Structure 1
Amino acid sequence: MSVLQKARRFVWGDIPESKAEQRLLLKIDWFILSYCCLMYFTNYLDRSNVSNAYVSGMKEELNMYGNQFNTINTIFTCGYIVGMIPNNLMLQVVSPRIWLPSMQIIWGVLTFCTSAVTNVQQIFAIRFFQGVVESSTFVGTHYILGSWYKPGELGKRSGIFTSSGLAGTLFSGLLQAAVYQNLNGSSGRSGWRWLFIIDGVITLPIALYGFLMFPDVPATTRAAYLSEEERLLASDRLKSEKTKVFTHGTPTWDLVRRVLSKWRWYACSLLFAVSGEVESLGSNNLMGQWLKAIGGYTVEQIDYYPSGMTAFAIVSTLVCATWTDSTRSRARWPVLVYMSISCIIASICILVWSSPIGLKFFAYYLAGASYAGQATTFAWANQICADDDQERAVVLASMNMWNNVINAWWPLVFYPATDAPKFTKGMWAMIGTCIVTLLVTWLVWYLERRERRGKLATEEAHDDGKSMKSQLSEKVHSRESLVL
């Protein structure tokens, strides 16, 4: 392999085996990643806008007090939990090209509604239903990615997808600052209200693009830009990676037995239930709350400065995803080790309150490494469950569901807005979460390795049995020849 080929393989995954596969990969990269990334971008733009609106005037205008900001996030999370598994199972019944953009239209309309609220109770109601529909995006896309891409291609595509959500967070802070400067008070609306209007305007055209161009999954795709040969190749190229036991289709009750009788659902759900909480420093906008609480910073600075954490999160996610795909073993666990150690260091720096302001900036930015584990964990689960599409759909949804079950109360206990600026409880909780993440990562690695060894032993025994039958058949045939 030439240096150029090695570089290309490192950056973009395994080299296609033929020109036809190369053309197919270019097409699905363009149409799948473009829509999924734009969809997730608006998803995270919406989520982050609530945090940015809170520190940009919404708190004062709606007379919010105590932990009502945390309550908004908790109610959204409850809706997210309710919608998680139903949304992913609906992708087995309704065409993803119809279901995903439909959910996007609904949350776009609800985003418009947020711009007109007059009290925090209205936000509570809107955010619950937004949680229900937005839960279709994250695990739904990971299911789609696992349906189209090989293990050596999957990590960096998952990383690009995750980074698009982080880009939404990054853009939200910049957008809020620009809106506050240029539109605050325009037509009698506050800057934070204009933020939700602009967010809705961005969301709806992307949903229309999904209706027109999204290719569904290989088993059901009717995309006009794919030839019949390319549709067959899309399915065949994944069969060489792992034989499918159950493929995309309407679920039956046997699915419950298959899921609950294996270790995969339990271990993968536990892994992201724990490791997902490592993202708490970013998902709760602790840096923005810290800057607002200590004073001395303008609204624009409070919106801009946390973007450094998001930028580092994007870089960490893409570098780690690229590295895991480039390794021959497709090892995912080192990323979770890197993430956990980075966040332990960040938490210690923040806990030492007498440390310089510059060190705290460094700590919050370093905590952006927490997002690197997200793409890797779901790529790992896709890889583990590659032999059963239906089980994979449930496992991916359950991972995010159980994480959000914890996330529904976790910020209220460990990161209440009233704890700003120090968040002492939260930093100790972060250190504990990172340690547990390391332990569960080892558990999943061990169970996957044990399952792989068991399958190899079974295949070898099967091959030996075939060989013995073949030898016996040859002996019988030889004796019959001598008799004749």
Structure 2
Amino acid sequence: MSLLDNGQKPSLDMKEDKNAPVVGEADAELAEALRNYVPGTREEKQLVRKIDMFLMPVLWIMYILNYVDRTNIGNAKIAGMQKDLGLTDDGYAWVLSIFFFGYLICEVPSNMLLSRSRPSIFLPGIMLVWGALSALMSVSKSYGALLAFRFILGCVEAGFFPGVLYLLSCWYTRAELGKRFAIFYTAAVLSGAFGGLLAGAITANLDDAHGIRGRRWLFIVEGVATVGVALVAFFVLLDYPATARQMTPEQRRLASVRIIADGIASGGQNRRRLSHRDALVAAVSDPRTYAFILLFMLDVGAGTISYFIPTITLTLGYDTVTAQYMTVPIYAVASVCLNVVAAGIWSALPLVLSWTSGVVSLPPEKRAIVLAMVNAFGNFSSVYGSRIWPSRDAPAYRVGFGVTAAFLGAGMVVAALMPLFVKWVDWRGTKAEREVLAEEQE
């Protein structure tokens, strides 16, 4: 029996239930709601505002701390870490790079797990762990220990960013996703300003407090703050449309219906799923995956400058504390610009990810893996990107700025050609994909 007579991709988004008649009744109710769905109603607008309220603020704060905990290594470096641990420029580059090896290894498996688990537990859970790890980095007394902490931190943080992207794609339509991705991503650029302010305050006021160096307090304070926010997120964050405890039954039904009508199947649903193996094969077989990986790698590779802004400002003649504060205007201006751009033309990174989610929307298990692959391989560009800013090039850093400009230029070309490529490929999917989607339409 067809769930949708008009050819829409069905997505029965509800909790598992051993009582078959109840499930069938719920299916019938959802099918009826789909037939009667009218977009843009007052009820839908109220629902979107409620979704925004429960998702965007908490995810935004979580991402600020995610980025702060990842990039505070640059602030710690100029606060004395390099001297204390005897780090060479090459050693510091490896401290940055090792994070992304862990990130690359664990990102796809993490999103595969998320597509079959509760986001309200999974995302705060990994945040709790990385916050604790960040605080424990303060006890690093050797280069080897710092490398180990950074690698494990990369493994744990790997699931957060692509997990958030997947969760947002389960709640918002294609027309709504780009703006939410862009708003969410402002946390990354604003975290630089916030991190600079916090690093300056900590290194200026807590250095040698209780016999602990300022750069160690930096890890402790920011790690503990992350743990605190994670504990709150357990009670605030939404799960999937069918299972969100903060929504009424009518709101859960409407949330499911509007996503189905938009052609994006939601997670956490009572339907046939692609197996882990089939979803992985579907993702790696799709040539569009690699086109988006290339585009994202170029954008992220240019972004490695963020790890060296404190170092660059220090080489301009500022003392350590002032150098921390001098990072603030850069990120503050970037955040304002990103907010302006989000109103119309979105900034590159969130646009690429929104674009990916819209092009590779079904099945959701494949979408989760593709988003993770794009983000993982894109962030792996930070491994070589971190090596284009050696201190011997200070203060001009011609190689670093030149390579960054080249990445951005190449990214513009790839982005311009992407619509033609996607249309030319006209990917039909693997056999397993076609079977799952065909079964949903029966």
Same fold (TM over 0.5): yes
Aligned equivalent of 1:305? 326
Q: Does 2:315 match 1:315?
A: no
2:153 alignment partner in structure 1: 130
Structure 1 residue 386: Cα displacement = 2.3
Q: Which residue of 2 aligns with 1:217?
A: 240
Q: Which among 406, 410, 423 is matched to residue 381 of structure 2?
A: 406
Aligned to 1:291: 313
Residue 166 of structure 1 pairs with residue 189 of structure 2 = yes
Is 1:388 matched with 2:358? no
Tell me the distance in 2 between the aligned counterparts of 1:245 and 1:26: 19
Query: Match of 2:102, as an amino acid?
Result: G
Distance (whole Å) between structure 1 residues aligned to residue 113 and residue 274 of structure 2: 9
Matches within 5 A, 1:268-279: 268-279=292-303
1:352 corresponds to: none
2:255 aligns with one of 228, 234, 250: 234
Please give the alpha-carbon distance, in whole angstroms, between the structure 2 residues aligned to 1:252 and 1:76. 25
Matched, 1:202 2:202: no
CA contact (8 A) 1:150 1:238 kept: yes
CA contact (8 A) 2:133 2:153 kept: yes
How much has 1:416 moved relative to structure 2?
A: 2.6
Q: Is the 8 A contact 2:127 2:226 kept in 1?
A: yes
In the superposition, relative to structure 1, how do residues 227 and 57 fare at CA in structure 2: closer, same or farther (>3 Å)? same
Aligned with residue 51 of structure 2, among 28, 36, 57: 28
Q: 2:85·2:141 contact (CA, 8 Å) conserved in 1?
A: yes
* 1:182 corresponds to which of 197, 205, 219: 205
Output the amino acid matched with 1:72.
V
- Superposition map of 1:80-159 within 5 A: 80-159=103-182
Q: Relative to structure 1, is the Cα distance of residues 254 and 247 closer, same or farther in structure 2, using a 3 angstrom cutoff?
A: farther
Match among 66, 69, 79 for residue 46 of structure 1: 69
Q: Is the 8 A contact 1:247 1:390 kept in 2?
A: no
Using the alignment, how far apart are the partners of 2:76 and 2:284 within structure 1? Answer: 42
Distance 1:250 1:200, change over 3 A: farther
Cα distance, 1:246–1:310 mapped onto 2, change above 3 Å: closer
Distance apart, 1:210 and its partner CA = 2.1
1:40 Cα offset (Å): 0.8
Q: CA deviation at 1:298?
A: 1.9
Cα deviation, 1:222-242, whole Å, max 9, x if unaligned, reads 31x200111111111112222
What is the alpha-carbon distance in structure 1 between the residues aligned to residue 142 and residue 284 of structure 2?
44
Tell me the matched-pair count: 389
Separation (CA, whole Å) in 2 of partners of 1:127 and 1:189: 21
Q: Structure 1 residues 116, 153: closer, same or farther in 2, change over 3 A?
A: same
Q: Assess if the C-alpha contact under 8 Å between 1:110 and 1:130 holds in 2.
A: yes
Cα distance, 1:452 vs structure 2: 8.0
Residue segments in structure 1 that go unaligned for 5+ positions in a row: 1-14, 325-334, 336-371, 455-484
CA RMSD of aligned residues (A): 2.4
The secondary structure found in structure 2 opposite 1:67 is helix
Aligned position for 2:13: none
Residues 1:60 and 1:391: Cα distance change in structure 2 (over 3 Å)? same
Larger % of helix: which? 1
Residue 246 of structure 1 deviates from its aligned partner by: 9.4
Q: Which residue of the partner structure matches residue 343 of structure 1?
A: none
Deviation (angstroms), 1:63 = 2.3
- Counterpart amino acid of 1:317? L
Q: Output the amino acid matched with 1:446.
A: L
Distance 1:396 1:417, change over 3 A: farther
- Residues of 2 paired with 1:167 and 1:452: CA distance? 38
1:260 Cα shift? 3.7
Equivalents in 2 of 1:37, 1:189: separation in Å? 31
Amino acid at match of 1:440: V
What letter is aligned with 2:164? Answer: T
Aligned to 1:365: none
Deviation (angstroms), 1:270: 1.5
DSSP 3-state at the match of 1:180 = helix
Match in the other structure for 1:367: none
Following TM superposition, by how much is the alpha carbon of 1:443 offset from its aligned partner in structure 2, in angstroms? 2.6
Distance in 2 of aligned mates of 1:33 and 1:380: 19
Alignment partner of 1:69 out of 92, 98, 104: 92
Whether 1:432 and 2:406 are equivalent positions in the alignment is: yes
Q: Structure 1-normalised TM-score?
A: 0.75
Q: Provide closer, same or farther for how the CA distance between residues 451 and 146 of structure 1 changes in structure 2, counting only shifts above 3 A.
A: farther
Q: Where in structure 2 are there 5+ consecutive unaligned residues? A: 1-37, 429-442
Larger Rg: 1
Check conservation: 2:240, 2:266, Cα contact below 8 A: no
Tell me: CA distance 1:199–1:441, structure 2 relative to 1, closer, same or farther (3 Å). same
Residues 230-273 of structure 1 show CA distances to partners (whole Å, capped at 9, x for unaligned) of 11111111122226499865634332443244332121111112
Q: Distance in 2 between matches of 1:66 and 1:276?
A: 21
Assess if the C-alpha contact under 8 Å between 2:61 and 2:187 holds in 1: yes
- Equivalent in the alignment of 1:329: none
TM-score by length of 2: 0.82
- Give secondary structure in 1 for the equivalent of 2:198: helix
2:439 corresponds in structure 1 to none
Show CA shifts across 1:29-75 (max 9, x none). Answer: 11111221121111111122111111112222222223222111101
From the superposition, tell whether residues 453 and 391 of structure 1 become closer, same or farther in structure 2 (CA, over 3 Å): closer
Contact 1:317–1:373 (Cα < 8 Å) also in 2: no
For 2:391 and 2:93, the matched residues in 1 are separated by 7
> Which structure is higher in RCO with an 8 Å CA cutoff and minimum separation 6?
2
* Mapped partners of 2:285, 2:314: distance in 1: 50
